[in-house]
Amino acid sequence: MLTIHLFEFSPIMENSYVLFNESGDCMIIDPGCYDQREEQQLKAFIDQHKLTPRLLLNTHCHLDHVFGNDFVHRTWKLELHIHPTEKLVLDFAPDSGKRWNLPFRNYDGPLHYIRGGDTIRLGTDELKVIEAPGHSPGHVCFYSESQQFVIGGDVLFRRSIGRTDLPGGNHSQLLNSIRTQLFTLPDAVRVYPGHGESTTIGFEKKNNPFLNGGDR
């Protein structure tokens, strides 16, 4: 069984996740730790709970979700898993950082490509990779069928959706991804997004203004 721990990192207030099991193995998803204080906060949690990091995953590669990739790689020797279409987004992230006055050291280690339908395993626990492009070209979500949750990145938020005005964004594609890939999950599934509080599939079906009453 996976336990989910959330950190809110960087001036952009991005949600970073550590998922760990009873054996003490863990995966780090979208590490957004920007400065040394936040890096040490992540490391202290892992050390205090005696966790062993096994996987580094990105839902997508916008700068706020990749700030901490290099730190995680250097600290625990983990190699990054992304969708292949996100490679260009990852490469562009430092330029985005300069434009936002948030310079950072980008990950430059080996890449492992994941696609929709793949299974991410941590011990006996499994996460299914769901492709959900629109916010970014190769955005993926990580779904636990057994525990009924999804690490959703910047696709679906509580009463909102991901922005599509960044390079590679596509509003109609994002809405289609939500309707065909996320809204087909059970209503009870809890969504842990890339920003803000968690929600459920059922709540968003009923209350999300972007998915009710047409394309807005």
Can you tell me whether residue 186 is helix, strand or coil? coil
pLDDT at position 213 is 55
Task: Specify the length of the chain in residues.
Answer: 216
Angle at 84 (CA atoms; ends 41, 100), nearest 5 degrees: 50
pLDDT in tens, 92-116: 999 999 999 999 999 999 999 999 9
Asked whether residue 161 carries a pLDDT value surpassing 50, the answer given is yes
| Nearest to 131, CA basis, from 145, 120, 116 | 116
Distance of CA 36 to the CA centre of its chain: 21
- 59-77 per-position pLDDT tens digit: 999 999 999 999 999 999 9
Contacts of 122 (CB under 8 A, 6+ apart): 2, 19, 21, 25, 26, 27, 54, 55
Q: Which residue has the tokens 């809204």?
A: 183
Instruction: Tell whether the model's pLDDT for residue 216 goes beyond 70.
Output: no
What's this model's pTM, rounded to 2 decimal places?
0.96
Structure-token pair, residue 115: 């696609």
pLDDT for 197 equals 98
pLDDT tens readout for residues 117-135? 999 999 999 999 999 999 9
215 confidence band (pLDDT: 50, 70, 90): very low
Check residue 8 and give its pLDDT.
Answer: 98
> Which domains occur in the chain, in start order?
3-207 (3.60.15.10)
Q: Is 32 helix (H, G, I), strand (E, B) or coil?
A: coil
